[in-house]
Amino acid sequence: MTFVRWLKRLSGALVGSAALSAEDFNPLFNGHDLSGWVNVNCAATTWSATNGVIHCTGAPIGELRTARMYQNFILELEWRHLKPKGNAGVFVWADALTARGQPFIRGLEVQVLDGQEGDWFTSDGDIFPIHGAKMTPLNGRGGDRAFPTEKRVQASPAWNHYRIECVDGAIALAVNGKVVTRGTKGTPRKGYICLESEGSPAEFRNLRLRELPATTALTPEHIATPDEQFRPLYTGLDLAGWQAPSAGETPWKPADWTLKSAGNPTPPLRWRELLGDGELIFDWRWTDAQHAGEWTHLVRLRGADLSPWLDGVVAKSAELKPGQWNRARFTLRGNQLSVLVNGQAVVTGVTVPGIAPRGPLEVHSSPVPAELANLFWRSLD
């Protein structure tokens, strides 16, 4: 389908709800629990469902996503902020996990904002790509952000209706019955749908979706990173699940979606479960360049100090810089260890002698101020 044909169809299909009946849609939310949704990186209390409404506390910053991907579709939903000046969002064509050093997921964001306005954003339904996604706006201001052509959002605590049509990389948003924001050439153009928590309480209801035919086969760059069954190890609110030193002292302090350490040498945090074969993802950054090679002391898997295989190799291979967020991915099968740092293989299939088949995951203090984020684990047992 050419863009001109899609735009002509869109002008009729998205004005009001007359063009498609309720029978053409399937519910994306069952009204009483979060079946079919995945908590990506939030606390268990961040998202809840009752009486036909998905409630978000706003803390920590993070996402709730669908369990499956979608390519071409029409999504309808209603939202409201429970406090003025609230912020949230709806992501489409998103990855399964958060971007490196971010609480957000790569994808296209449809802004859910209340009563805030600036030179580069509005509260009326902006659409923009984030963290590596791409989009060409039809009503832009020199960047890749699409701006609405008129103001139709009602202020908190009123409910607002969004209708989002996504077809072959093109996206259009109708706010309370009229199309106001459009973009084209979106990448990815197949992925997950996410609801965003971003600092203030919000509610969503009447989520329903109609899938549309996929007219072309997608190349890999147009498909979001799939679900690999990782689970979050940090709530963004507290150290639930972690055993702090007996005295209760730990340098790692919750700071929304990050854990921060001032660099005090204290006993490590230990995850409550003993782990076997699996993969660990975590992001980190520090501020002191001379300690670049010491990052590996931050974690120990199954009780093993892995730094003899990693120190020095990482700093030379990954071009790490102070203040830069980095992502490590450890894979441990039996006594075989492989490590990626920022997508580069720094260790491949080395043997770690004497490692236990099951053991603790420990987070140690850094010799300098450091931050951790996006701790995820998946079992390979």
Which residue(s) pair with 162 in the sheet? Answer: 77, 175
Tracing tokens 């009729």 back to the chain, one arrives at 12
Residue 41: what pLDDT?
98
C-alpha angle with apex 357: 356 to 359, nearest 5 degrees? 65
Q: What is the mean pLDDT of residues 42-65?
A: 97
Side chain identity, residue 205: R
User: Do residues 289 and 314 share a domain?
Assistant: yes
Indicate the DSSP class of residue 307. H
Average pLDDT, the chain: 89
If one counts the domains in the chain, the total is: 2
23 and 150 co-located in one domain: yes
Cα–Cα–Cα angle for 60, 99, 108, rounded to 5 degrees: 90
Task: Please check whether residues 109 and 220 belong to one and the same domain.
Answer: yes
Domain boundary among 227, 253, 275: 227
Query: Are 245 and 211 members of one domain?
Result: no
Q: 64 with 34: CB under 8 angstroms?
A: yes
Both 194 and 56 in one domain: the answer is yes
Q: What is the DSSP-derived secondary structure letter of residue 277?
A: S
**What is the β-pairing status of strands 178-187 and 134-137?**
antiparallel
Strand partners, 313: none
Residue 374 phi/psi, 5-degree rounding, is: 55, 55
Q: Lowest-confidence range among 19-23, 25-29, 288-292?
A: 288-292
Residue 82 shares a structural domain with residue 151: yes
> Based on the domain organization, do 59 and 149 belong to the same domain?
yes
| Percent of the chain's residues with pLDDT above 70 | 87
The CATH number of the domain holding residue 324 is 2.60.120.560
pLDDT tens figures, 167-207: 999 999 999 999 999 999 999 999 999 999 999 999 999 99
Its domain, for residue 367, covers: 232-379
Q: Does pLDDT of 3 surpass 60?
A: no
Question: 346-364: per-residue pLDDT in tens?
Answer: 889 999 998 999 999 998 8
59 with 176, same domain: the answer is yes
Regarding whether 317 and 194 lie in a shared domain, the answer is no
Instruction: Indicate the residue among 202, 227, 252 that finishes a domain.
Output: 227
Clarify whether residues 139 and 251 are in a common domain: no
| Claim to verify: residue 210 and residue 281 sit in the same structural domain | no
pLDDT-wise least confident of 178-187, 235-244, 272-281, 284-293: 284-293
pLDDT at 52: 97
Q: Which of 171, 205, 227 is the last residue of a domain?
A: 227
CA–CA separation, 122 vs 135, rounded Å?
18
Same domain for 16 and 148, yes or no, is yes
